[in-house]
């Protein structure tokens, strides 16, 4: 089985779907001749031509608005927003138009657009090349939000997303774009949206993460094991729809929870997870729910590594939860 990184897996998924379905169209800034700023669309322009791999101006609202129109009328657009930080100029199109189209037309007009965007810190990108805006989109009814952590899931989840009937925000963890490598089957397969994956089984504490943070958590769990903490690590993979059953089953087993994400803490996705766990499994809890997150600041440049949850911070948090009497 070939070994790929996440970029290659995304590229493979796009190519497979574009060959399979003539309606699939890629558009965005530098996705064509340039091959994408991270090379995720490399080679597609050469294979599928300028009508299906469309280089656009720097116009995020125009890109997403055009994609909405194309989706309303027979195409399957997969726009790329070059960095998740650049998604805000398209925020109106995503939140007011894309997400609500099916609903406000009384079900007459689905808008199956898959927006791919690299997100997250760890590349010294500073304020505007590092953000994790997933919570805004989870908060918007009508959107699905998917964040893979590894090449296998990236390919399988992206293929699922492109075959669905709903808009999807597909966020790619750029810090591990190349670092996360793994075996990826050739050809077609899908990973269904809405299924979390238990990455490491354990009995002492449930640790919830997604995207790049999963790798931090795995490192922390290995350290924790040496200290006698038996962590169960769950990769959520899809934030919406959330696989709440897998989360609750684990929490009922371990009684302790640590939630990790790199977005700011306040009203981050962890807040929703904590609320759901408190609502559905309070009596199983043996310690307060722990959250390890970015700080409530703009994304910093110099102090990036201090801002991002580290294995040490995650480890300390797990220890607090496990030692709580």
Partner 1 sequence: MTTPSSQQRLRDMMLVRRFEERCAELYGAGKIRGFLHLYIGEEAVAAGLLPALGPADTVVATYREHGHALLRGVPARAVMAEMFGRVSGCSRGRGGSMHLFDAERRMYGGWAIVAGHLPVAVGLALADRTLGRPQVTACFFGDGAVAEGAFHEAMNLAALWQLPVLFVCENNLYAMGTALERYQAQPDLVLRARGYGVDAASVDGMDVEVVAAAARDAVERVRAGKPFLLECRTYRFRAHSMFDAELYRGSDEVARWKQRDPIALLAGRLRTRGQLDDAALAALEQDVAREVEDAVSFADASALEPIEELTRHVMAEVAP
Element at 226 (helix H, strand E): helix 213-226
Residue among 233, 234, 255, 228 nearest 321 (CA): 255
Binding window for partner 1 (CB under 8 A); candidates: 28-36, 140-148, 244-252, 290-298: 140-148
Q: Which one among 19, 104, 124, 127 touches partner 1, defined by CB under 8 A? A: 104
Residue ranges in 254-283 that form contacts with partner 1 under rule CB under 8 A? none
Under the binding rule (CB under 8 A), the answer on residue 47 touching partner 1 is no
Under the binding rule (CB under 8 A), the answer on residue 166 touching partner 1 is yes
Q: How far is the CB of 194 from partner 1 (least distance, A)?
A: 10
Determine the longest span between alpha carbons in the chain, in angstroms: 63
Under the binding rule (CB under 8 A), the answer on residue 59 touching partner 1 is yes
Strands (E), 177-256: 181-183, 197-200, 205-209, 231-235, 238-240
**What residues pair up with 79 in beta bridges, in sequence order?**
27
Under the binding rule (CB under 8 A), the answer on residue 57 touching partner 1 is yes
What angle is formed at CA 276 by the lines to CA 102 and CA 192, rounded to 5 degrees? Answer: 50
For partner 1, the closer of residues 144 and 215 by Cβ is 144
SS3 197: strand
For partner 1, the closer of residues 23 and 223 by Cβ is 23
Q: Which one among 29, 85, 97, 232 touches partner 1, defined by CB under 8 A? A: 97
* 224 preceded by a cis bond (ω within 30 of 0): no
Residue ranges in 2-41 that form contacts with partner 1 under rule CB under 8 A? 25
Under the binding rule (CB under 8 A), the answer on residue 77 touching partner 1 is yes
Under the binding rule (CB under 8 A), the answer on residue 165 touching partner 1 is yes
For partner 1, the closer of residues 57 and 187 by Cβ is 57
For partner 1, the closer of residues 55 and 230 by Cβ is 55
Under the binding rule (CB under 8 A), the answer on residue 103 touching partner 1 is yes
Query: Which residues are known to be catalytic?
Result: 129
Under the binding rule (CB under 8 A), the answer on residue 49 touching partner 1 is no
306-310 CB contacts, 8 Å cutoff, 24+ apart = 307/121, 307/262, 308/121, 308/122, 308/216, 308/262, 309/213, 309/216, 309/260, 309/261, 309/262, 310/216
For partner 1, the closer of residues 43 and 62 by Cβ is 62
Give CA–CA dist 91/93, Å, rounded.
5
DSSP secondary structure letters along 251-285: HHHH--EEEEEEEESTT-HHHHHHHHHHHHHGGG-
Under the binding rule (CB under 8 A), the answer on residue 65 touching partner 1 is yes
For partner 1, the closer of residues 24 and 176 by Cβ is 24
Residue 18 CB coordination number (10 Å)? 21
Residues lying near partner 1 in the complex (CB under 8 A) are found at 25, 51-52, 56-57, 59, 61-62, 64-75, 77, 89, 92-93, 96-97, 102-110, 141-142, 144, 164-166
């Amino acid at each position: 089985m070939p070994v790929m990184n996440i970029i290659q897996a995304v590229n493979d998924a796009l190519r497979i779907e574009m060959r399979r379905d003539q309606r699939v169209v890629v558009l965005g800034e530098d996705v064509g001749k340039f091959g994408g700023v991270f090379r995720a669309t490399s080679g597609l322009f050469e294979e599928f031509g300028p009508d299906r791999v469309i280089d656009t101006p720097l116009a995020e609202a125009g890109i997403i608005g055009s994609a909405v129109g194309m989706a309303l009328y027979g195409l399957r657009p997969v726009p790329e927003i070059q960095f998740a930080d650049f998604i805000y100029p398209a925020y109106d199109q995503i939140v007011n138009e894309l997400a609500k189209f099916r609903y406000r037309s009384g079900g007459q007009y689905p808008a199956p657009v898959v927006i791919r965007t690299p997100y997250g810190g760890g590349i010294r990108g500073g304020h505007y090349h590092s953000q994790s805006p997933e919570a805004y989109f989870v908060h918007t009814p009508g959107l699905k939000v998917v964040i893979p952590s590894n090449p296998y899931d990236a390919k399988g989840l992206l293929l699922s997303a492109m075959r669905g009937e709903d808009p999807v925000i597909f966020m790619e963890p750029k810090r591990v774009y190349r670092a996360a490598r793994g075996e990826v089957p050739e050809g077609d397969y899908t990973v269904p949206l809405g299924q979390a994956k238990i990455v490491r089984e354990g009995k002492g504490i449930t640790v919830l993460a997604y995207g790049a943070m999963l790798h931090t958590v795995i490192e922390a769990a290995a350290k924790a094991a040496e200290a006698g903490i038996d962590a169960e690590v769950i990769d959520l993979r899809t934030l919406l729809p959330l696989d709440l059953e897998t989360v609750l089953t684990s929490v009922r087993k371990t009684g302790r929870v640590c939630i990790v994400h790199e977005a700011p803490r306040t009203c981050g996705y962890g807040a929703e997870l904590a609320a759901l766990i408190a609502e559905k499994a309070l009596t199983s809890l043996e310690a307060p729910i722990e959250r390890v997150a970015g700080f409530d600041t703009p994304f910093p440049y110099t102090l990036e590594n201090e801002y991002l949850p580290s294995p040490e911070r995650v480890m300390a948090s797990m220890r607090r939860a496990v030692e709580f009497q």
